[in-house]
Structure 1
């Protein structure tokens, strides 16, 4: 291994020192010194925004970032690099102008090379290849993105000669791409693991002596130093918005946060004669360090000011006035950070906006609206709402459209909220429109948790076609909701999410008939022991009763056959990353004369109102498998092996109830294939 990081001393003397020592100048010139600066996940944060309360939250902006990089390099040979996500998920002023100001500012900064990030694909590979890359003066890298069009200049790697040293920069984007951008926009592209793609090239470039030094720039985070080839000399990660500084590892590993809030600067010296790379200095600057570098740049400032002025008029438009704040989900710990695993009022609202917007802008009337929690990026505070504030809620510019799905596909999509327990986000909440409600049992196996779904108050029909509205990202299977991609090809409406949201807010805040935001939950967790027997007490365990911000619910009521019990809600958020905020235990004594199919109704004082069909027996029959009714193969009425026993028990217990209960008959026929009556 040629690289041994050490911050204790400079191991290679300068040219002047060697000359003073009487050594031949030719020997001195075999050593090349150079500096590499790296930022990542810029996301169009070119405007400086200071946080007087906490400097760590300040946005240094592009001018300060360039100043800090230039100061770090001084007169040395220098490469300014990025590990991806330069554009996309940007502030209003950049996004409303298609991130053109960001591209221009980065050109003026002198960015040399950048990895392609996942957000470079927000508008699809065609937009990246045919618009972004031609406008960028830097080289974009995407090793391992097989099938990506490279005709306009995207490369696997770039070699820069820095003071006589051939430095290879290899960039690769995360292989989780199909879950991060609209699958429709990246069709035909396959994604290698970044480490594998970069290591392979590092070994090849070293073996054929094309590169003296290899720098890895994965748009991926959380990668240990031990994962890299011995031919990788330094790593600059991205994607996860973290700060990482590891100078005692081989290779050294850095990650410079996001939003211009971090800058990694590393000074190297390479002795070509001995193939020895030495680390002279390494630093990871934070916001206060970057902001302190205040050398102005007139050219960049003009670009920034011009962009702000162009976006100002559109952004300042007041859409209306909210009488209440609308929130995303947050974690229950002290950080109060964003949590995509819990139901939120804003996520449900945007699902409803999609349904409402498509109905008003096409010839179809959707049955269901959906929204992914990861697409909700800001809260809306009470008071005047501007176009810019509305835009910040969902800044991706996704198209809103619709598809046609079977009820079984929608059921599967609800099940897909549960990801792998080992995932960073083991649960991703799916926002649903106001006409959708459902119950689930969190203790059941994967694929069998959803126990009842109502669409407009009627049980979902797995065999029926439903028109589902949402973003092209989500309806193409984004966030691993692959069941949503099972329907017909999505319609091309050219209807963008911010347009839909603005129209909704105009209508809602202007009193023009748009529905008010849902105040209660769309779903509750429900567990109870079967069978339910008339005249006996039964305990119901409830979860997912509150939102994690702005919630007003204090009590939950359970009703069954005339029996009714109200208890206080425990506001505990439940296990981290799961949709279990707010729990309660309710015990009911079922009236002795209540038998057959009944509706178990769960309500809260904040507006939650969910009904679940249950069967009440007159005597204690043999207990079927499963803890609640449901759609999964393991549910009590989902297994053909138990249906005969269940039907026999019902008939024996209540006599001719099947003949007099058409709703029960319809329910059994719907969920039980081959039901014999």
Structure 2
């Protein structure tokens, strides 16, 4: 999953992009409207996920938290005579502990305080089942642990594509009508059809989800009902993914827009679920999404003819909720304080370390932190009254930081697992487990190795790199040495990213059964608290993985990190270009004239590839993907324009984490097919590059220069 460096009180997966200026995504539709039209603004958010006290980093600036978001939302509404406030699902679920420890009642309290007018269901509203969903929305005792009593939402929830099997009726009312400024606006709710695959089967027990065809029929049906009641302005709150890239909007929400009649009365479809930016017209419908986690909100402007009720003009802007210069909303702060006062453990150290519990070389070998995380995953409670799973597997790309030396807080744990992934328990045969291990060893397009060694619990194995992948696992056993039976079925815990075949672990898709469970960070936190009780957190490598090196490797210079340094990257580039034009030493204060890489850095400086930072080059620091891009982009001609570059970067879930200086460079490399996503739809601009990946990237750039 994505590389996140977030954090204030907590850290989360930030799926945002560097396209921040609302004017960039502004006017969509006609430029003018009749002077008598009523101007209405729909102010909305999606995928808040209970991140009440979570500070996110957007373009190296702090953004988000409920108190900051509240200030933006209140100020936006105060500007307009006529406005409505809405949310588009996943307001709860996969939440920060300040909300999740009280079953997201703090988030519901915040939305009530804000005066939301309407909301829709997201897939995470189903996490704990229908009874819990109804308790949150309508009030009552939460069935999970029976400790929290919900006050209920003081605003309307709508959904039209979830049907109770017992009654054949929609789970909640399918639509609602709101009147503002003398005009009526109808809101129809939808949730992604993939919800049953995103939550535990118990979460959707008792309901069914309409197919794509049935969904279109439902929207047409309820649109007609709304029209029969004099409503011509219709908004679909569809918690369906959508992304706008290079002016083209795609995803489930866009597919819905295409499937509806061209003359459908639906004016706007609000998207969600994939935490991306969307802002474009599809088949006459404006499709909008404003990222996630309270880091942005959408302002949908509608000009409505008061006589006919028709929308004569529509547009949207998406605004990032930067913290700098913004006063925190006191009512929001009070809600957070009340929760923190109940849970002082959130701001207190959960233990200490000596600095040795790290992810060092986790892509290639067993790592101490990898063992710790896998052990926590293995004992996760899935609510099925079963004992611990036989095994657990953790992808190295999901381990985003080391445990610090000294005190460890919840925020530190959140930096390690910032994505809010759901853990999944699978049934796998011994043969499938061996296949899974073989799928760790992939190959890049240029033939270089692409290794993503799984961090494991419950088993151990030996891999002989002198053998082909299909024969590489030479021994595979339980922790006690009992051989794993290829025909026997075992239970294994992975995260939902892996369970869906991410990082090439495709065999997991063929698991005999799948049970979704708790959030990975929650499990990790509880494991640390229960196991170490505030004392020293200890973990080490235990020969769970034994790699036998092939002769072609150089054991005298073992790899100690998976990332290449800035000096080595520049040296590789200079060597490939065969530069030999200068005889003077580099001028950087931290590059000695007799350093092994001094000549290469001097050549790269002369060629204009590097400039350094305040007189330093930081030669020993790992180079990031975006730093590498800014160097390689100088080899290429015809760079993308600012607007084109912004659109390219906007297509990635974490595009907003790209530093401003690197946007055009990254976009240029992406546009020319030199650089692609690191994982899924994530750029991971701040992640380091392995030596193999760096060399492959340089080769592509040099080849593009020559073409």
Q: TM-score higher than 0.5 here?
A: yes
- Equivalent residue for 1:111, pick from 109, 112, 116: 116
Partner of 1:309: 341
Residues 206 and 115 (structure 1 numbering): CA distance in 2 closer, same or farther, change over 3 Å?
Answer: closer
Q: Is the 8 A contact 1:571 1:581 kept in 2?
A: no
- Equivalent residue for 2:153, pick from 136, 141, 151: 136
Question: Is residue 318 from structure 1 mapped to residue 350 from structure 2 by the alignment?
Answer: yes
Residues 373 and 256 (structure 1 numbering): CA distance in 2 closer, same or farther, change over 3 Å?
Answer: farther
1:507 and 1:346 mapped to 2: Cα distance?
17
Residues 548 and 95 (structure 1 numbering): CA distance in 2 closer, same or farther, change over 3 Å?
Answer: farther
Please give the residue correspondences for 1:225-624 in structure 2 after superposition, counting only pairs within 5 Å.
227=255, 228=257, 229=260, 230=262, 231=264, 232-246=266-280, 250-271=284-305, 273-274=307-308, 276-279=310-313, 282-288=316-322, 294=327, 297-324=329-356, 326-327=358-359, 346-355=369-378, 367-371=390-394, 380-387=403-410, 389-390=412-413, 393=416, 406-411=429-434, 431-433=455-457, 435-437=459-461, 439=463, 454-455=476-477, 456=479, 459-464=483-488, 466=490, 468=491, 470=493, 481-482=508-509, 484-486=511-513, 498-506=525-533, 509=536, 516-518=539-541, 522=545, 548=562, 577=678
- Equivalent residue for 1:68, pick from 61, 66, 72: 72
Cα offset for 1:87? 1.8
Partner of 1:171: 189
1:233 alignment partner, SS class:
strand
Cα offset for 1:411? 4.2
Q: Is the 8 A contact 1:572 1:581 kept in 2?
A: no
Higher strand share: 1
Residues 216 and 99 (structure 1 numbering): CA distance in 2 closer, same or farther, change over 3 Å?
Answer: same
Any idea what the Cα deviations from partners look like across 1:150-189, whole Å, max 9, x if unmatched? Answer: 9997343333233343322233333333443334433455
Any idea what the Cα deviations from partners look like across 1:294-330, whole Å, max 9, x if unmatched? Answer: 4x65433321222233233454033222413535999
Cα offset for 1:471? 7.2
Q: Is the 8 A contact 2:461 2:545 kept in 1?
A: yes
2:548 and 2:463 mapped to 1: Cα distance?
6
Q: Is the 8 A contact 1:34 1:268 kept in 2?
A: yes
Cα offset for 1:390? 3.4
Question: Is residue 222 from structure 1 mapped to residue 249 from structure 2 by the alignment?
Answer: no
Q: Is the 8 A contact 2:359 2:399 kept in 1?
A: no
Residues 440 and 46 (structure 1 numbering): CA distance in 2 closer, same or farther, change over 3 Å?
Answer: farther
Partner of 1:100: 105
1:64 and 1:444 mapped to 2: Cα distance?
55
Residues 438 and 504 (structure 1 numbering): CA distance in 2 closer, same or farther, change over 3 Å?
Answer: farther
Partner of 1:80: 85
Q: Is the 8 A contact 2:69 2:321 kept in 1?
A: no
- Equivalent residue for 2:203, pick from 158, 165, 185: 185
**How many residues matched?**
504
Residues 397 and 7 (structure 1 numbering): CA distance in 2 closer, same or farther, change over 3 Å?
Answer: closer
Q: Is the 8 A contact 1:169 1:215 kept in 2?
A: yes
Cα offset for 1:256? 0.9
Residues 263 and 519 (structure 1 numbering): CA distance in 2 closer, same or farther, change over 3 Å?
Answer: farther
Cα offset for 1:105? 0.6
Residues 143 and 369 (structure 1 numbering): CA distance in 2 closer, same or farther, change over 3 Å?
Answer: same
Residues 163 and 386 (structure 1 numbering): CA distance in 2 closer, same or farther, change over 3 Å?
Answer: same
2:41 and 2:221 mapped to 1: Cα distance?
24
Residues 172 and 550 (structure 1 numbering): CA distance in 2 closer, same or farther, change over 3 Å?
Answer: farther
1:60 and 1:155 mapped to 2: Cα distance?
31
Q: Is the 8 A contact 1:475 1:485 kept in 2?
A: no
Residues 486 and 115 (structure 1 numbering): CA distance in 2 closer, same or farther, change over 3 Å?
Answer: same
Alignment RMSD (CA, Å): 5.4
Q: Is the 8 A contact 1:414 1:430 kept in 2?
A: yes
2:319 and 2:546 mapped to 1: Cα distance?
45
Q: Is the 8 A contact 2:288 2:316 kept in 1?
A: no
1:58 alignment partner, SS class:
strand
Partner of 1:200: 217
1:247 and 1:483 mapped to 2: Cα distance?
38
Residues 307 and 250 (structure 1 numbering): CA distance in 2 closer, same or farther, change over 3 Å?
Answer: same
1:163 and 1:366 mapped to 2: Cα distance?
58
1:509 alignment partner, SS class:
coil
> Please, what TM-score do these two structures have when normalized by structure 1?
0.59
1:71 alignment partner, SS class:
helix
Residues 284 and 314 (structure 1 numbering): CA distance in 2 closer, same or farther, change over 3 Å?
Answer: closer
Please give the residue correspondences for 1:49-68 in structure 2 after superposition, counting only pairs within 5 Å.
49=55, 57-68=61-72
2:546 and 2:214 mapped to 1: Cα distance?
43
Cα offset for 1:43? 1.9
2:284 and 2:424 mapped to 1: Cα distance?
49
Residues 547 and 357 (structure 1 numbering): CA distance in 2 closer, same or farther, change over 3 Å?
Answer: farther
1:356 and 1:450 mapped to 2: Cα distance?
29
Residues 427 and 159 (structure 1 numbering): CA distance in 2 closer, same or farther, change over 3 Å?
Answer: farther
Question: Is residue 34 from structure 1 mapped to residue 40 from structure 2 by the alignment?
Answer: yes
Q: Is the 8 A contact 2:460 2:544 kept in 1?
A: no
1:169 and 1:212 mapped to 2: Cα distance?
11
Any idea what the Cα deviations from partners look like across 1:361-412, whole Å, max 9, x if unmatched? Answer: x996764333477986765333311245336655899999988764235346
Cα offset for 1:222? 2.8
1:342 and 1:144 mapped to 2: Cα distance?
46
Cα offset for 1:431? 4.2
Partner of 2:573: none
Residues 475 and 259 (structure 1 numbering): CA distance in 2 closer, same or farther, change over 3 Å?
Answer: closer
Cα offset for 1:47? 3.1
2:35 alignment partner, SS class:
coil
The structure whose Rg is larger is 1
2:421 and 2:129 mapped to 1: Cα distance?
10
